[in-house]
Structure formats: structure tokens, C-alpha cells
Structure 1
């Protein structure tokens, strides 16, 4: 690819002006290939929408919970909400500029190159790099955006977001809030997009990318020797280092079991303590689930499995109550789209995504209170005192 024959168009993903800019450039230049910031999955979904093909938009929440991808799904959902909300406010569908690029390319018979990394790889790499505090800050920021976004709707000027000075300020703020996310979502994708563009065999290329990526892509293309191996950017590495939080959480149930065994071998009657452990665990699992708005059967399931999940560090009662709730609440892609239309808590309460995740979180919270507060004070500390004659 000849650098001088490359045109990079930085767009706002929910801007009508960006749609027109993209189409005009393709029709005027008639390039050999149009590179667009989409992965295969998103491209297929956009094409199906363009062709009016109705999909089975059911989302398998059961699979998400079983594969322990609730965090990944929640992050994806909140990001989708944020973009959909802006698009709804401006009456422009997210990805419209990509649709415009596809339509113009197909009209002229120009091939399309998909240059983005799979979104699931990107988000998983970001989550793997984040620590607990950073994840918490990022989640709070996203949720705050969801509930506080409407306050400044009249001040939104999406075209101003494409201004390099504004982008630098926005990226710097993002870097301060969540540096690991910034590294993966911005720097890594800058490198990935630049690498894919650099590897195109055609000379005359128009690349359609988000405005935030344009400066980084240009820096890499001006210095191609700095481009990393793209295969390294597609690997999902587990976090390195000692997972102290997981170790501590695993030690709690182990400690409970040890105290029970020590009491038993010391000749202390632990029958009543075992009953207390089971009853308290079940009650707190049930209460956590039912207060989060679950069906009665989901709360019962959450309560029944609570004692086992406390002893087994790899299980969570919320998974079971959430899986049960998912049997009654079918989640569809429309539930994600409808997040952008939420104006009140009632709207949020009627959204199945929110309700199922709330049941998972509520059940786990109830069991966590039992594990960290009630059971130690009511069962294990008194038992420990008996063992050592306190």
C-alpha cells in the first residue's frame, strides 16, 4: 500500500455528517478497497439489518452465567447502551457511517476490508488487565453515564468530538480513569487497525475509522517499524501475578471447614452449629434473591444452594438463582437496544437484562453478608472460642 494513496476518514459513530463525508469520499475517489472499522461479527449483523433479515435475537444468559462472563456481558451492554443513547438522542443509528461505507462500496463494486479486532477479544483483554479498583471505578463511571447522561443532552455536539484537541482531552481523561482500558481500547486497537491497513495489498485505500483512532493510526503508519505483531494482539492472556483476592476468598470457606473439624475432634457437639450454618446461609441467599426482584422459585434455588456455594469457593449462589430466573425471562437483543430508551427506574425494572443480573448480584450479596458478617459472629467465632477454651 502506498502511504500517499491512503485516505483515513475519522468519524463520529453516531453522526449524520460522518455518513455523508464517508459516502462522498468513496464516490469521488473510487478507491481500490474500502477498509472499515468492523470485525466479522458486527459486519454480518449490519448486513443482515441492511437486508431486512430478522434474526433470532435471543441471548443465552444461561451460557453467559455458566461461562462466568457476566462482567464481560455487563461491560458490553453498558457500552452498547451508551452509544445507542447518543444515537437515539441525535436520531442516528450507531454504525450508520459504516453502513454508508458498505452501501457506497457495493454500489461501485469496490471490495471491503474488515480491519477491526473481534470485540470479544478486545473487551476480554481489557478486563484481564484491570485490577479490582480499576474495574470498580470503570463500572461506576459507566453506570453514572447511564443515569446522568440526560442532564446535558442539549449541549451534545458530536462533530466537536472529532476535533483533535477535544479528542486529546477526552482520551487523557479516559486514561486517568481507567489506564488499562485505555491501553487496550485505544493504543492496542490503534496498532491493530494500522497493522491491518498496512497489510492491505491494494494501493488506493480509503479507511473509515472512529475519529479517536485516526491520530494513533497515522503515527503507526508513519513509523511502520513500531507496529507490533498483530497475532500477539489477538491472544487472550490470563492476568499474571498472584490472585490475592481469590486466595483470600478461598481461605474463608476452608477456615470454616477447619473450625468445624477441630470442634468435632475436640469432642464439641457441632450439630446445632451446622444447623445454624445451613439455615442462616439459606435464609440470606433467599432474602438477597427475593429483594432483588426474583421469582419465588429463583429465590428458593438461591437459598438451597447457598450453604454449598459458601463451602465451595468456585461456585456462587447467584449463578443458580440467575440461571433459574433466565428460564422465566428471555433476553433478546432488543433488551439491549431498549436500554437507550430508559427514562425511569420503572423502564429499567422492566428490562430483562437488568432484572437477571440484579438477581445474580442480589443473591451473591446476601450470601456474602452471611459469609463475612453473620456466620463468623453467630457460628464460627463462638465455636472457635469453645475449641480453645475462651
Structure 2
């Protein structure tokens, strides 16, 4: 992934998305959607117009980018965020609504209150959604491999434990986006990179010592009676907190995770908003993303120099020799088998 790292440009410390587009957003909203001004003033809704995008390279001259991209920052466990999404989509009536989900997590948009206690299905950002559990397992392995699957299962249970005190299901804003999009006739677009690829990249970015520390930390968090205020080597949020903060905390503790978990996904989301086939030749797009992505996504929309193709962001790591791959695979699969067995035993007693 070295080549990809060279192209991904995280926002410089001086960049503030609110300052960069606030004046233009405010004037537009005041003129055509004054009922949304409170969201603009709070910094959760911004407008990035086509003229602010980077130059279009020759190889994609055929592609017509959207005229206006509205980006709405949300909290995944907030009732207000869900209401805000409905307000924005109904007011703007965009051609497309792009949500921070991938195919593997699309089931979150159809979850209900009855799914609140389903730790591996629809309860958090690491969910294994779908009508058939083993089908979801197979898809996860095919895209990201066994290591990514094991990490995903651990994070799913760990995240569920952190948020088990919440009285709301995860992702109400995504369900609101689906409902509102259907009402106004907007096309719903899955805008996030497949979680399997993200976790594979994240796992591969760690050295073996960091991998061991991370797995140990997650197991301790899952098996402990109470998370308390601190677990392992990073702070644990109170139950009911926004699960996105788990990404931020992991990235803070393991800096190498910043690239795959945050920066690459910010760029992928930006590309989905302005360069996916679904938005080609559209006038207006609304993006529904976690508030922690706002700065990176807006920067990626504006800083694009046309030197990165969409498929680069979904690329896999380079191929190893078959001998090395076989040896590593045998070791990995043995470890993964033990991890999955232990996780299954834990689930049997915990849930």
C-alpha cells in the first residue's frame, strides 16, 4: 500500500472545513433553505460546490461531477442526527443520498429496535449483516481474508459491549436516510469502502508486537465484567458513547492505523460523493457521514489533483510468493481458529 500512501493527502493541521466553506454554505442556505440554518451554524452541514473541486484529468473527461455536494455530519447513536438527516434530505431533495456504509453493513439501514442485542448482526459499525450469517462470513473472508474477519468479530463484540448502555440502536441516521430518500425519490448509494478491505489494510499496517497488543486488549475488554474508565493502553468511553470514537482511540494508540481507518476512508467517501458511477451527471448529492469524517472528506473533495483513481482506494495489498503466503496462511489460520473458538465460547456465556 506504499503507492496509495503517497497519493492520500490528509488535511494539514491548519485546515478547518467549517472555515473553508462556511461563508458559501451560509449564503446558499439563507437563500434557498433557511430552515436548515441551525445545522450550518452548528457546523454539521456544509456545501461544497463543483467549482471548488480539483481539476479533472484527461482520463476522466467523460465523467460529469455533481454540481453541489452537501455533507451532513452525524452521530451514530443520536436521535437528533436521525431527525437532521430527514430534514436535510426532504428539504434539498437530492438526486443521490450517499451513506457511510458498505454492502456488508447495508443491513444496518433495515435494522429495528429488536436488533439492539444482536452483537454480530446489526448493532454496530463492525456488524455482520445479512439474512444468512454464514453468507456474511464467506463474503467477509473473500474480501478481506481470515485475519480481517477475526479482527472484525472481535471489534464487533467489543464495540457492542461499549455501547450496550445505549437505549437506541446503532445507525438511526442511516435508517432515516433510507426512509427519506425513498420518500423524495433519491437514489441511495453505499459510499464507504468495504469494511473487510479496511480491516485487512489496518491489520497489515501493524507489526507483530502491535497485533498481539491489540488482540490482547480486545479480549481483555470483551471478557472483563466492566470496562471501567481505562482498559489496556487507551481510554474506554462510557457505555452509550458514539462507536466512531473507537476508531479514533485505536488510531491514537496505534498511529499506523490512521491511514487505513481514517485517511483512506475519508478519501473513499469523498470519491463516492463526487466520482462514483451513481453520481455521474447529477446535480445534487447529500452525504450522510460520521462527524469525525467531516474535515477529511471536505478536504479530499477540494484538494483532489486528479492523480488517484477510484479503484486505487479499494486495492488489495501486493501478492507474496506462494511459498511465503502458504506458510503465513498456515500460521494465521491456526491462530484465527483459536481466536474464533474462544470468541464463540465467550459469546455463549456473555449473550
Structure 2-normalised TM-score? 0.59
Spell out, residue by residue over 1:15-55, the C-alpha distance to the aligned partner (whole angstroms, 9 max, x if none). Answer: 22221221122122222221111112322x346647x9992
- Of Structure 1 and Structure 2, the greater helix share is in 1
Which of residues 12, 22, 28 is equivalent to 2:75?
12
What secondary structure does 1:88 align onto? coil
Which of residues 294, 301, 309 is equivalent to 1:221?
301
Partners of 2:143 and 2:196 within 8 A in 1: no
Separation of aligned partners in 2, 1:239 and 1:128:
13
Structure number, greater radius of gyration: 1
Give the aligned partner of residue 72 of structure 1.
148
What displacement does 1:349 show? Answer: 5.4
1:235 corresponds to 2:315: yes
Gaps of 5+ in 1: 251-312, 336-345, 353-390
Spell out, residue by residue over 1:86-118, the C-alpha distance to the aligned partner (whole angstroms, 9 max, x if none). Answer: 443112222221111101111222111221111
Say if 1:23 and 1:158 are closer, same or farther in 2 by CA, change over 3 A: farther
Give the aligned partner of residue 131 of structure 1.
207
What secondary structure does 1:23 align onto? helix
1:82 corresponds to 2:133: no
What displacement does 1:232 show? Answer: 1.5
Separation of aligned partners in 2, 1:155 and 1:203:
42
Separation of aligned partners in 2, 1:197 and 1:8:
9
Give the aligned partner of residue 167 of structure 2.
91
Separation of aligned partners in 2, 1:139 and 1:49:
29
Mapping for residues 1-390 of structure 1, pairs under 5 Å: 2=50, 5-43=68-106, 45-46=107-108, 49=111, 55-58=131-134, 69-146=145-222, 147=224, 150-152=227-229, 155=238, 158=241, 171=248, 174-199=250-275, 200-201=279-280, 202-225=282-305, 228-238=308-318, 315=330, 319=334, 348=347, 350=349
User: What value does the CA root-mean-square deviation take over the aligned residues?
Assistant: 4.6
Separation of aligned partners in 1, 2:336 and 2:255:
34
Structure 1-normalised TM-score? 0.54
Separation of aligned partners in 1, 2:158 and 2:350:
16
Spell out, residue by residue over 1:272-326, the C-alpha distance to the aligned partner (whole angstroms, 9 max, x if none). Answer: xxxxxxxxxxxxxxxxxxxxxxxxxxxxxxxxxxxxxxxxx97469859959x98
What secondary structure does 2:86 align onto? helix
Separation of aligned partners in 2, 1:32 and 1:68:
32
Name which of structure 1's ranges 104-113 and 122-131 shifts more when overlaid on structure 2.
Answer: 122-131
Say which structure, 1 or 2, has more relative contact order (CA 8 Å, 6+ apart): 2
Partners of 1:84 and 1:94 within 8 A in 2: no
Extract structure 1 runs of 4+ deviating beyond 6 A: 59-68
What secondary structure does 1:89 align onto? coil
What secondary structure does 1:225 align onto? coil
